[in-house]
Structure 1
Amino acid sequence: MDLIFWRHAEAHEESADGTDLARELTSRGLKQASRVANWLDRQLPDGARVISSPAQRALQTADALGRKYKVRPEIAPDASAQALLDAVQWPHGKGVVVVVGHQPTLGQAVAQLLQAQIAEMPIRKGAVWWLRTRERDGQRQTVVVAVQAPETV
């Protein structure tokens, strides 16, 4: 299974209605999302599943990809890494899944999957971490396939 964590792009600090879920991307964030989406679309197979947090900034980031996606409350801001991993059925799910979400949840999930000695990996706004599970010598491993930031694509 391939699991791609895509942190939402740069967002405004506040929303018009004052709620966190309504925060929208800045003009810079829209450009970041577009750049990464163009790169990601070229890499993804046709059958890749995309899921997004219900937060407006994540939805706008997912929209940039131009593919259908499902909104899952399990990956809303402040969700747990385990809730996210359960939502995507890691590591037993099939195919490629793109998760558009938030820090610290994404960074915690990456750290957990890579068995890092830190609580969370820093993931920049708009960046993608592509992980893959595989079997080697009878043991399951998680490997990093790619890490991309908006500035490098």
Structure 2
Amino acid sequence: MRIVIVRHADAGDREAFAKLGKPDSLRPLSTIGKRQMRSAGRGLVALVPECARIYSSPYRRARQTADILATLWGIEIEECDELEPDKPVSQFPDLLAAGNSSETICIVGHEPHLGSLATWLLSGEEREGFAFRKGGACLIRFWEKPGAATGTLKWMMGPKELARLK
């Protein structure tokens, strides 16, 4: 199994959005973020041409990022509460266990949650480790069922590097 982990693209200023009196879960991608993700997404799809499923945080900015990728890959999205930023990464193996060992799946979410997930999959440690740029991604390969310290990092790129691949 291969897992592509993607951080949502730019969503503007958190504090400015909070002043509108709306919850952070509703903060959308900015115009720059949408453009950034379309460009990075084309590069990501050139690098990973097939993906079976996308799991997305239910937060608007992550879902919008996932929508862009789903359109490029021509696949569906499944929203997962496990990808909300405050959830423990150790909940994830149950979700990943349902996948086929030969397929690629994509996970779209938030920092520092995604960095902690990548660190856990690679080292078994539940702590912040990797730092994903907005619109950035990595690919982790598994030769057995995904879980703590079972993955191998194949690559990690920011959105500018991904955009150059298209």
Q: 2:120 aligns with which of 108, 112, 126?
A: 112
Q: 1:98 aligns with which of 100, 106, 114?
A: 106
Which residue of structure 1 lines up, in the alignment, with residue 152 of structure 2?
A: 143
2:60 matches 1:56: yes
Aligned-residue offset at 1:33: 1.1
- Contact 1:55–1:77 under 8 Å retained in 2: no
In structure 2, what is the Cα distance between the partners aligned to 1:93 and 1:110? 20
Aligned-residue offset at 1:131: 0.2
- Contact 2:7–2:135 under 8 Å retained in 1: yes
Which residue of structure 1 lines up, in the alignment, with residue 8 of structure 2?
A: 8
Write 1 or 2 for the structure with the bigger share of helix.
2
- Contact 1:36–1:126 under 8 Å retained in 2: yes
Moved more, 28-37 or 39-48: 39-48
- Number of aligned pairs? 148
Q: Identity rate of aligned residues, in percent?
A: 29
- Contact 2:50–2:104 under 8 Å retained in 1: no
In structure 1, what is the Cα distance between the partners aligned to 2:37 and 2:104? 19
Aligned-residue offset at 1:77: 2.2
- Contact 1:78–1:104 under 8 Å retained in 2: no
Moved more, 122-131 or 9-18: 9-18
Residues 73 and 118 from structure 1, CA distance in 2 versus in 1: closer, same or farther, beyond 3 angstroms?
closer
Aligned-residue offset at 1:47: 4.9
2:132 matches 1:128: no
Unaligned runs of 5+ in 2: none
Any idea what SS the aligned residue of 1:119 has?
A: coil
Write 1 or 2 for the structure with the bigger share of strand.
1
Any idea what SS the aligned residue of 2:143 has?
A: strand
Any idea what SS the aligned residue of 1:79 has?
A: coil
Aligned-residue offset at 1:99: 0.2
Aligned-residue offset at 1:11: 0.7
- What residue identity is the alignment partner of 1:54? P
Unaligned runs of 5+ in 1: none
Moved more, 34-43 or 23-32: 34-43
TM-score norm. by structure 2 comes to: 0.78
Aligned-residue offset at 1:55: 0.5
